[in-house]
Amino acid sequence: MLLPVRVDAIEEEVKALKEQGLQTLLDKPTTGKFGAVRFVYPKSMHGVQIEVYQPEVGRSAQS
């Protein structure tokens, strides 16, 4: 299962997740269809992969 989560400040949110003990798959954001993307390691979330994404400036998540 993949759960996408839209955020306004990806690095701040990922930092907060790491402070809670979650692991990420990438050290830096990658560019996805809508903007910057980071993934939380599924084992950190009991098998659920979390996609944290920050849309590009001026672009909505539905574009």
Q: What residues contact residue 17 under an 8 Å CB cut-off, 6+ apart?
A: 24, 40, 50, 52
Q: For residue 28, what pLDDT is reported?
A: 87
pTM: 0.78
Strands (E), the chain: 2-6, 30-31, 35-40, 49-55
- 2-55 folds as 2,3-Dihydroxybiphenyl 1,2-Dioxygenase; domain 1 (3.10.180)
| Banded pLDDT at 62 (limits 50, 70, 90) | low
For the chain, give every domain's residue range: 2-55
> What is the Cα–Cα distance from 17 to 57, expressed in whole angstroms?
23
Q: For residue 59, what pLDDT is reported?
A: 57
17-26, 33-42, 53-62: range with lowest mean pLDDT: 53-62
